Each structure stands twice: as C-alpha cells, then as structure tokens.
Amino acid sequence: MRFSDPLKISYRNILAAKVRSFLTILGIIIGIASVIIIIAIGTSAQQLILNQIRGIGSNLIGVLPGASEEKGPPAGAFGVSITTLKYADLQAILKKQNVPNVVDGAAYVNGNKTAKFQDQSKSTAFTGTTASYINVESASVANGRFFTKEEEADLSRVAVLGSQVALDFFGTNIDPIGKRFKVGDQSLTVIGVLSSRGSTAFSNQDKSIFIPLFTAQKVVLGIDHINFLRLKVDDEKNIDRSVADIKATLRDQHQIRNSANDDFTVRDQRAGLDAITSITNAIKYFLTAIAAISLLVGGVGIMNTMLISVNERIREVGLRKAIGAKNSTVMFQFLIESAVITLIGGVVGIIFGALVSFLAAIIMQKLGYQWPFIVTLSSVILAVVISTMVGIFFGLYPARRAAKYNIVEALRYE
C-alpha cells in the first residue's frame, strides 16, 4: 500500500459524510482560530504598550508605592491602595546632594470624576501633577499655558485639558481658555490645552484633565499621598547610579534600615519593560490556554465522528483484513482520517484567525492606536502541530478499536 492510498480513502470518506465532517471540522476551526486570534492580538497589544513606554523616554525612572520582587510588578499595579509615597519624597530626591544626576521630577495622583460644562456631563479621568510635568514628560501646550509652581502651591482651581477633552466639551468653534467647568463639585478655570499625545503606557493623555497636584490631593480627592513619581535623569548612562541613589534617599525618608523592608519600588525604563513583558506574556499565555480548551471540545467531536465511521465500516475492516491488511494498517488508516480532518480545520482556522486579527488591527488603527498586525510564524506552526496532535490523540481510540475487530465477526456484521 502506498502512503497516498490512506489519504485518498480519507478524502472519499470525508466527502461521503459532508455534514458530519463539516461540523467536526468547524469545532477545530473555532479552536485554532481562537488560539491564533488571542496570540496575535495579545502580541500586538504587548508591542503597543512596550512601544508607548519606550516613547516616554529612555532616561526616566519611575517610583511606585509598595514593595515588589526584583522583576515582578509592585503591589500598586494590582489596584491595591498604598499610601507610603509622599510629595516630600520627591523633594528629597530632587536635592542635588542626594541624587545628583536627577535633573527634574514630577509627582502624580490619578482619579476619575464627572466633568460638567454647561449642559454636557461625562465621566473623565484627571491627573493631579506638578508644574514640572511639561519638562519631565516632554509635553507641549497647543493653546494657553501650563500651570505654575505658584499656582500649584496656592491650591489654584485651574486646569489644563487634554486635546480630546477640549474637543469633546468645546468643539472647534469655542476657545476653551478662560472657560469654567466642574470636576466633581469643584469649579475650575481652563488655562491651557495640551498638544495631542495619544495613548501612553496604560492611559490616553488626550482624554485626561490636568490640575495642580495639591488641588487634586486636598480639594478634589482629600488625600495626602501620591500614586507615583517620574524622574528625569541627565544621561541614560547614569540610570543605574540614580536608581541606587533614589533607593538610598527613600530608605532614609521612610526610616528603613533593611532593604527587605522597602515600601516602594524603583524602576528604570529597562526594568519597567521587562516587568510589563512578563505580565503581558503571562496574560497572553493564560488566555491562549483557555482558548485551547475549545480544541478539547473539537477533539471530542473528532472521536465521536471517528467512532461512528468505524461502526459504519466494520465490514470494510473485515474485508481488508481478509485480503491481508495488518492491524497496524487498519489503525493507520483511521488515524490518517482523523489527522486529515483536524489538519483541514487547522489550516482554515489559521486563515480565519489571521483575517480577524487583521481586521482588529485596522479597527484599532482607525481609533488612533499604533496597533501592529502580528501573526508570528511560531503561532502558525504551533496551531498546525496542535491541530494534528489533537486529531491523532482523539483518533487513537477509534483507530485501535477498528484494528482489534475479529475478521470473521467483522465480515458477518450487518
């Protein structure tokens, strides 16, 4: 028997039961397409986030409240409210004798309130920050100005709008400068509009309202801690030294004698990228594993289809054995059939998954995100291997059952 013979027989048997074969293949298509889509979208989202973080600047250091493992995320990244970081910590770091290579820094608190202007009302993110934000973030003002240190210290009720917020509330015909609106129950005066920056890291700054740090802390939120610090170093080569100096300064500020008791996390851009990569990889693989469960359902469908096929072809098995076919030959024939079914489903699933991923990339790009379309060769190979293995694994029992039929009993079967 030539190797092509089982393939020809498999093809004929699949066509002989078109509806049953289609439904079985459909289960594999859905499973493989799900794996491809999740890997593709997960990888694209990961690249989007990493590119945005890289775009913030390679000479920045972040400080977050809460301790963490060397390469793990800080506790604050999981939504845990930690209040150990204060504005005084930023002041201590900016003293040249403590951290000589840090040239500037900004403190941040984030919140979400209902913003109101005339008859318009919508839930809007806001950021309380220091006047140094413009320099640290390399941002620019398109209209008006940013608030000053004096306005920050005086708890001034002023605000700078992200470009999208300004467009949403004031449109293109109204100059927002000097207009008053409310954030929560506080009335603020617009003094500036930032140039469009798009999404950076995990937030779209065009959709945020920026107000002085102390106004956000004491007037809007009623807190005295900050969410994080961002520090600008004079040269990228001084990052490691600055990280060490910042840690030493914060330990002195928080009266910590043992580094094991640190209640803060200091991360430079490289460490941040590694942490984000680890987190997004874990999420991506977890979701891929969930999607792969649907392949088990498809595999059960294959086993059911092959058992039906074996029962319908018992006399055929007997005839083949009667003219000299070995048990291994019969078993091989049914394994080939189940593998062909899953391979067809796998190929169609890869094409469908790639198309959906491509459409998702187009939609995200239309929404303004720099979303790459990524379908890796490794994910395609993985999908083909998985689909083939599922077919072989779930086809093994029906194939063994067919191979064990007694020739006489098989020939007598009606």
> Radius of gyration (Cα) for the chain, nearest Å?
31
Q: How far is CA 95 from CA 48, 102, 105, 228, 265, in A?
A: 35, 9, 11, 18, 20
124-148 b/e (C-beta count within 10 Å ≥ 16 → b): bbbbbbbbbbbebbebeeebbebbe
- Contact between 227 and 109 under an 8 Å Cβ cutoff? The reply is yes
Q: How far apart are CA 330 and CA 335, in angstroms?
A: 9
Residue found under tokens 């029906």: 398
- Contact between 157 and 188 under an 8 Å Cβ cutoff? The reply is yes
State the amino acid at position 35 in one-letter form: V
364-395 b/e (C-beta count within 10 Å ≥ 16 → b): beeeebebbbbbeeebbebbbebbbebbbbbb
pLDDT (0 to 100) of residue 370:
75
Q: How far apart are CA 208 and CA 386, in angstroms?
A: 44
From first CA to last CA, the distance across the chain in angstroms is 27
pLDDT (0 to 100) of residue 91:
93
pLDDT along the chain (414 residues), means of 10: 61 72 83 85 79 69 80 55 88 89 93 87 90 90 94 93 90 89 90 81 77 94 92 86 92 89 83 71 78 76 80 74 75 80 86 91 81 82 79 80 72 60
CA angle 70, 72, 73 (to 5 degrees): 120
pLDDT (0 to 100) of residue 380:
83
Q: What is the pTM of this model?
A: 0.59
